[in-house]
Structure 1
Amino acid sequence: MKHQGKICIEFDYTSFLGASGSKKWTFVEAFSTIAPIFGLLWKQNIAELSKPEDRLWEAALKSMSSRQSDESNLVKLVKLAQHEGIQELRVVMPYSLDSEQIEYIEARSQLKVDITEQDVLNLKL
């Protein structure tokens, strides 16, 4: 979604947790292990055509894990969003984070976490 020229993305962390646990290899990923240059060129072309939220989702599936802590995953998500040029990130959580988790995220990402609704984190990157 766009707001006043800024790229604002909503990331559903609940859906991510479900998807990361059942991630299957795609044809491109499998073929890339055999011919890495093919995968690199294919991914570059696809990335140019896809939307920032789609690229963020794909990057999250590759670098975040349901086996890692939520805090670590959210810090990684912030870095991925920054890399994609996203200025605002709205993360819908399956549950509320406690104050220590919020402090960890703020310290590692050097951003202020704003909680406007229950279980929704807002970050301005």
Structure 2
Amino acid sequence: MEQQGKTCIEFDYTSFLGATGSKKWTFLEAFATIAPIFGMMWKQNIAELSQPEDRLWDAALKSMSSRQSDESNLVMLAKLAKHEGIHELRVVMPYSLDLKQIEYIESRSKLKVDTTEQDVLNLKF
């Protein structure tokens, strides 16, 4: 997908963790279970009109879970961001990750994680 002028997108992981616990079905998701072809076409049209950060947020809510480890979620988030054509992702964390966690993310995502700011991870694609 085209990046639409965004070079760096910020993702608030703390807000994401709060949102996963209160996720409710949208009309579109319910409709898509009844009429999958119409739901798919509708989703595609909406996705084309939305911003990359909104698409990333929606994809994260569908693909990641607060029941998974932070490392696994962040690897998935990097994949989703890359798919959206995002060139740089700034992830604001509720806490700092230790070296082992960062190494896990780097090895699985094949990216260098910059942690120069406390509680912020910078990923460049």
Q: Same fold (TM over 0.5)?
A: yes
Deviations 1:33-64 (A, max 9, x none): 11101110110000000000000000000000
Runs of 4+ in 1 over 2 A off after TM superposition: none
Alignment of 1:85-96 (within 5 A): 85-96=85-96
Q: Secondary structure at the match of 2:100?
A: helix
Q: Secondary structure at the match of 2:116?
A: strand
What's the offset of the Cα at 1:117?
A: 1.1
- Report how many aligned residue pairs link the two structures: 121
> What amino acid maps onto 2:45 in structure 1?
N
Counterpart CA distance in 2 for 1:73 and 1:46 is 25
Over aligned residues, Cα RMSD in angstroms? Answer: 0.9
The aligned counterpart of 2:69 is: 69
Which structure 2 segments of 5+ residues have no match?
A: none
> What amino acid maps onto 2:53 in structure 1?
E
Counterpart CA distance in 2 for 1:105 and 1:23 is 26
Alignment of 1:1-125 (within 5 A): 7-125=7-125
Q: Secondary structure at the match of 1:38?
A: helix
Relative to the length of structure 2, the TM-score reads: 0.94
